[in-house]
Structure 1
């Protein structure tokens, strides 16, 4: 992919200082014969589910809700994330059909590792209508516990939302949230699809999880560490496929750089093409002896092999993004 084309995509991302990109090249497993395939629901209601609370004598400002996306457009998604989303919906719906036909005698099969309901990172959960967990394949010790008061890492009442979504008139939907468990120091983004099932006079909630970290990379600048070497600007890598333990469909890197007032970088050669996008401050970028004045909302393409030096000529920190293709490495920079 041409570096200029990459830059056009990255510039919009730069305004948010975040990166979203698809990952995980593993093929999405087909729905097994036991869980027959069904067409994805033409509705995405419930993805941003909310619980409204009214307190006597208190006026509430309506919360800003996320707009529902056109389900017909969503069905056209060709990414592995879109395929897995459809796959999970299909499996949950097929499981509901089997549960409604055969009842609780299916529960032991749901817990059997390697079965269509429990394999790799996929498993089926079942709650009863009051929120009590009745099937939890990864951790059977949690069965019998109620999820009604369950909240995510941000305090979002996901227990209530899961129940509300499944028991609604539509009877199904997605809930997204930030989840933190004992095995991870940082919360990770997760979605759960739930659907109501009725069998033998009982009502159940059937669901399965979608782990977005397998498909999307999202980092905050404040979580990135800056280098602090004499003669060099402070640089924090926002995204570099070389340092990430996953297969990204990407061959470039993005870093955030800061040069304090009155400072400059050591003259150096970058062996790969590079683009700078200026966020704040002003300065002078010398490329093979040619001075280029730099200011906010400007991008500069720098050919591979150029000698470059950047000066902060303003009174505030000079901040900019650096895009390299291929991804920047220690071998790609030569100090002079």
Structure 2
């Protein structure tokens, strides 16, 4: 009888220990999941806040500069030209125009001061000089203008976003402004300067891959841009993940397990994981495709067949 009681106590003790361990492991797993969710949310918030913070900071500084001009008039201008000050640092600067379009403060190039820039246009001919003035003279006296502008030592344009605000001192009326390049705070890619490689027998460029971006984008898919000449076809292959084809231009056929599916502008095809697939351009012009992999494409997930 005594041995039976000891056995029962032992079994109960072991059961309690196992229960405690299972609860502890489950709790640790829950904590790990929560931590991963927090890290993902923080990463996404950080990416979002970079643009938002820059936008808020630019508007704040322009308003502060406008207040300074309304307080001091032209006596404030030298402060905007002081390097490594709150007004001029790391590519940030404040510019000032007379409301008639004469540029009176331009720290990046002082020789540009005194010029009539009322007819200023952006890379695509957008009349930004006129828009700056109209914005300053508008009902709210301030606003944002987007336009295409080239960076120093660059030839291709980038999107610039500038905040404009009116300021008055005595009988003079000015517009105060500053801007930033949107691409410095958002990931963008242009197919025109994308590096093409040969993959599965066709030409493509990698528009976006999370493992080759400067900061964690919080995504797990990749996008490739494919250009196929008439008559060209890819090698039969399969992936261990699903793959999406979206047709931008042209006509073709995608074969999924030898079953043909037509491709034309606006057509999307989802290829299930592990299905043998290949694409052929059956039209008379280039076939342009976007190819999306989730998870992001990896060489070990792809197999050339036959």
2:34 match? none
The alignment's TM-score, normalised by the length of structure 1, stands at 0.64
Cα deviation 1:314-333 (Å, max 9, x = unaligned): 45565432112344355654
1 CA distance for matches of 2:228 and 2:104?
57
1:124 aligns to 2:66 (yes or no):
no
- Judged with a 3 Å threshold, the aligned counterparts in structure 2 of structure 1 residues 327 and 291 are, in CA distance, closer, same or farther, namely same
Segments of 5+ residues of structure 1 without an aligned counterpart are 1-23, 29-77
1:312 aligns to 2:276 (yes or no):
no
1:134 match? 104
- Judged with a 3 Å threshold, the aligned counterparts in structure 2 of structure 1 residues 181 and 298 are, in CA distance, closer, same or farther, namely closer
1:237 match? 206
* 1:86 aligns with one of 56, 61, 82: 56
2:155 match? 185
> Is contact 1:100–1:197 with CA below 8 Å preserved after alignment?
yes
2 CA distance for matches of 1:203 and 1:144?
15
SS of residue matched to 2:86: coil
Q: C-alpha displacement at 1:248, in angstroms?
A: 3.7
Q: C-alpha displacement at 1:179, in angstroms?
A: 0.8
Deviates more, 1:291-300 or 1:311-320: 311-320
> Is contact 2:229–2:281 with CA below 8 Å preserved after alignment?
no
* 1:323 aligns with one of 268, 292, 295: 292
* 2:261 aligns with one of 281, 287, 294: 294
1:253 aligns to 2:222 (yes or no):
yes
- Judged with a 3 Å threshold, the aligned counterparts in structure 2 of structure 1 residues 322 and 199 are, in CA distance, closer, same or farther, namely same
* 1:277 aligns with one of 234, 246, 259: 246
More helix, by proportion? 2
RMSD value, Cα: 3.3
2 CA distance for matches of 1:138 and 1:261?
49
Q: C-alpha displacement at 1:261, in angstroms?
A: 5.6
Between Structure 1 and Structure 2, whose CA radius of gyration is higher? 2
- Judged with a 3 Å threshold, the aligned counterparts in structure 2 of structure 1 residues 146 and 101 are, in CA distance, closer, same or farther, namely same
Q: Equivalences for 1:1-336 in 2 at 5 Å?
A: 79-228=49-198, 232-244=201-213, 248-260=217-229, 263-270=232-239, 273-279=242-248, 280-286=250-256, 290-296=257-263, 297-303=267-273, 306=274, 308-312=276-280, 314-315=282-283, 319-328=288-297, 333-335=302-304
2 CA distance for matches of 1:169 and 1:315?
54
The alignment's TM-score, normalised by the length of structure 2, stands at 0.69
> Is contact 1:272–1:325 with CA below 8 Å preserved after alignment?
yes
Of structures 1 and 2, the one scoring higher in RCO (CA 8 A, sep 6+) is: 1
More strand, by proportion? 2
Q: C-alpha displacement at 1:274, in angstroms?
A: 3.1
SS of residue matched to 1:295: strand
- Judged with a 3 Å threshold, the aligned counterparts in structure 2 of structure 1 residues 295 and 79 are, in CA distance, closer, same or farther, namely farther
Question: Number of aligned pairs?
Answer: 258
